[in-house]
């Protein structure tokens, strides 16, 4: 039987040369599909023992095929061997040379390359950073395999968090929501590197209901057209990795797989609904801890 390679982000984005997952009785939901599951994984590691390299610092990636018997290395791919010219951006070389992989394990990865890889069917994640390569690959496989079961989803601790709106004039918008609707500014930040201002508005201390996130991009001069002013809906969740594995297994687009944030233990992922609207999934260090606002750079802001 041919071994099936699963694209965790979405199967339709896999290369045509790779075996596809059939939707019939031999799919991932069946015992036969689970038994034959093979995942191709690229790993960024200095010495091959631990996942300890930043995406932007890696010059080579080890490629593994992982199945029920464990991981086995099938290739070592160096950027210098795959670039088409001396002027090619190293990131573009990486995108092309690991496109047949379903997952990329790195110590750190930015939002922009993570989304670029997701659009090519590769789930880039730092959720296994610092772990040994062999145990990390075995854990990854177990998690992806478990995601194929049909157990009911536990939503007891899920809650809506905030909705993000892009605005032309932040002060004008704050005046409207606060001055006319009685909200208060819960948090405000200026992002010089990414050139946007950000404010969270809500009622009370924001711990007992949804908040509104307003984002003003410094370089955007034209008025927003109704429709593209909307950013995303955020949902506070528990067990974010398990949830995202289930969503990916179901074919839900995931432009940003789970990624820990720079300034804390918060884990964030982005998925898309059938109409393409983005939903931010947020797992705070403690699900019961109120008032946590983690900075998330939305490349579509």
| Exposure letters 28-54 (e unless 16+ CB within 10 A, then b) | beeeebbebbbbbbbbbbeeeebbbbe
Distances in Å between the alpha carbon of 161 and those of 180, 185, 259, 290? 22, 15, 18, 10
Residue 262 in tokens: 């720079």
User: Strand, helix or coil at 202?
Assistant: strand
Q: Which of 80, 139, 280, 289 is catalytic?
A: 280
d(CA 10, CA 294): 27
Of 275, 281, 274, the C-alpha closest to 296 is 281
Active site annotation includes 280: yes
d(CA 248, CA 125): 14
Residues with catalytic function: 280
């Amino acid at each position: 039987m041919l071994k099936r390679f699963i694209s965790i982000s979405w199967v339709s984005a896999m290369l045509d040369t790779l075996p596809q997952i059939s939707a019939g009785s031999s799919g991932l939901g069946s015992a036969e599909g689970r038994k034959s599951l093979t995942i191709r994984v690229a790993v960024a590691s200095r010495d091959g023992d631990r996942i300890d390299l930043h995406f932007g610092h890696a010059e080579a990636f080890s490629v593994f095929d992982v199945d029920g018997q464990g991981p086995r290395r099938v290739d070592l791919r160096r950027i210098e061997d795959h670039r088409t010219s001396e002027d090619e951006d190293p990131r573009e070389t990486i995108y092309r040379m690991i496109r047949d992989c379903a997952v990329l394990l790195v110590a750190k990865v930015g939002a922009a390359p993570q989304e670029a890889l997701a659009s090519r069917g590769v789930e880039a994640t730092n959720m296994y950073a610092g772990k040994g390569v062999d145990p990390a690959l075995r854990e990854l496989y177990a998690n992806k395999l478990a995601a194929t079961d049909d157990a009911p989803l536990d939503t007891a601790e899920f809650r809506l968090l905030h909705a993000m709106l892009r605005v032309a004039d932040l002060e004008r918008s704050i005046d409207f929501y606060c001055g006319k609707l009685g909200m208060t500014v819960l948090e405000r930040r200026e992002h010089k590197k990414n050139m946007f201002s950000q404010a969270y508005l809500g009622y009370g201390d924001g711990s007992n209901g949804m908040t509104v996130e307003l984002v003003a991009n410094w370089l955007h001069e034209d008025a927003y057209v109704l429709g593209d002013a909307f950013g995303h809906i955020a949902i506070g969740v528990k067990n974010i990795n398990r949830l995202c594995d289930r969503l990916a297994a179901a074919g839900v687009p995931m432009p940003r797989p789970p990624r820990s944030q720079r300034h804390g233990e918060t884990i964030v992922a982005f998925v898309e609904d059938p109409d393409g609207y983005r939903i931010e999934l947020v797992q705070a260090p403690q699900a019961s801890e109120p008032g946590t606002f983690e900075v998330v750079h939305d490349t579509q802001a």
